[in-house]
Structure 1
């Protein structure tokens, strides 16, 4: 990937369905070239995109899903076999390989705590090669991949992207069955054409186009553009677990979320009650970053640190051992909790 590719990905992280002619004006590269480059990036597995539902904050409590992080210890030499067995599971959203005393960390989404427990105890724990599991139930997400940005565009370019015409200001308070169909249609490719989705669900192109415009600005939907981070220069990923006094959780979590290196940050139910995933260009950066965090948040005690040398699945997208996109499995959770997004 070169500078134009990075600028294109950054632009689509901000405005995922911007037209090529709109991006031509902002990036300064002709529309045909941008379209061709995007197709190349997607076809090579370097870049992919997602669309998913979240429960509106004002929605009924019973409708909100549960997110859990689950450590998985494997029999020596069995990690890849375990990966192959669990990766197709729709409610296993993300799988990361780890260093240390466990081999995998999974992100699960289910309707309830009981359903998480049942899956872990009766399905995950019985997969051949699984030695042990440990579950951490999430509480609040201060940051996740939807809001992570490459950060290569200028402020004027970002303002121009944010100023593009919005067609979804009339989005309803909650998604309709049509919106749910359209979200599923965009789930594995946020730039999929309205015509293709309309043909699939039996609606008019105009109806689908309007629904897409609405969900792009609605509080109950999210879009994101991901990339094979290890292939494009993010060579060190570390997961850090903190023990933070309860009354400072919001402050520390929000502060960590503001760091450009933070990919994910959430509070969990455990003695180590806050965790963050950090993306860096080189592991040598971690010493300075850890010192910076310690100075800013002296009461946040680091309990553990893991390397994450490989992402095997990310929000339904199964990745190859080299980190490139391989296939998509439509997630089958309820709408993700409303805390699955950045806080102010």
Structure 2
């Protein structure tokens, strides 16, 4: 479990993923050495990673939430095959090991088709559905609320990266930079220069432009178990279109939800719930979600494990 300093560090990284240890330490009121030591320990013990990602809309990418159901053996193989692809992220094994939920990223060059190309052909697949992600309410640049509650407003302001309103956009020439940031968002400018072939000054200037304009953001990947969230589930909700935005905004305020999005399909809202126990999930569903009247149907799918989280940006 995390202590107050650990939680504050994770919160700080969510706000300023590339901030130097010295700056984070000054805001948290601890030494630079303490921040560095805690960061390395959390990387080893809680899977902490800072990941640089392009804003999908600014980069001209579309995102699809894909559900595949299969026999248990086939599901394991399919999850492994999907995890090796560079156009997938957030792959989860669910429903007792018979369902896979994954995000697939496409570009105009793909024609937004063939989402499941290169998937092994197997008689074990029993159903497939694809849901176009229309709008993110929680996820991407918007952090899971439960891991962003430690710092004061003054500390948040001291760390938050100001958006300049610049016009920098992700370009094909940024491919190597995005791939490197996807592997390690805190890689040094020198390391990024070595991986891109650019001069360090060029890397620093390009990073500053992209981040200041909001074309890229830095996410934090950490094991939810470290926060005591040992029970996870995907929630597939049906809401009348006239109420969908209002319901999604209400759900986005729930600290139990690490992801909330509007999608196409028979269910038009989807969420990822993280709770301390099955009983806590039951209480959350019955007392909080159940109190939202416009929801007409809810499917709860337990998540066994995350096979893949965020991945390096796809080559274009």
* 8 Å CA contact 1:234, 1:281 repeated in 2: yes
Report the counterpart of residue 286 of structure 1 in structure 2.
281
The residue correspondences of 1:1-344 to structure 2 (distance < 5 A) are 1-3=1-3, 4-44=5-45, 46-55=47-56, 64-99=60-95, 102-111=98-107, 117-120=113-116, 122-124=117-119, 126=121, 129-147=124-142, 148-149=144-145, 150-156=147-153, 159-164=154-159, 169=164, 171-176=166-171, 179-290=174-285, 291-295=287-291, 297-316=292-311, 330-332=312-314
1:183-222 CA-to-partner distances (Å, cap 9, x unmatched) read 3321121111011112222322222222222323322212
| Deviation sequence 1:295-325 (CA, Å, 0-9, x none) | 2x20112331111121111122xxxxxxxxx
Distance 1:165 1:65 in 2: 26
Question: Would you say the 8 A contact 1:26–1:160 is kept in 2?
Answer: yes
Greater displacement, 173-182 / 191-200: 173-182
Q: CA deviation at 1:11?
A: 1.1
Gaps of 5+ in 1: 58-62, 317-329, 335-344
Say whether the 8 Å CA contact 1:93–1:331 is kept in structure 2. Answer: no
- Is the Cα contact below 8 Å between 2:179 and 2:314 reproduced in 1? no
Tell me: CA distance 1:205–1:76, structure 2 relative to 1, closer, same or farther (3 Å): closer
Q: For the aligned residues, what is the CA RMSD? A: 2.7
Give SS of 1:203's match.
coil
Q: Rate the CA distance shift 1:223–1:267 in 2: closer, same or farther, 3 A.
A: same
How many residues in Structure 1 have an aligned counterpart in Structure 2?
Answer: 312
TM-score (norm 2): 0.87
Cα deviation, residue 28, structure 1: 2.1
The C-alpha deviation readout for 1:149-198, integer Å capped at 9, x for no partner, is 41341324xx3242348587374342355655433321121111011112
Partner Cα separation in structure 1 for residue 199 and residue 315 of structure 2: 27
Of 242-251 and 280-289, deviating more is 280-289
- CA change 1:167–1:239 in 2 (3 A) is closer
Cα pair 1:146 1:225 within 8 Å, conserved: no
Structure 2, unpaired ranges of 5+: none
Alpha-carbon spacing, 1:309–1:303, altered in 2? closer, same or farther (3 Å): same
- Is the partner of 2:282 in helix, strand or coil? helix
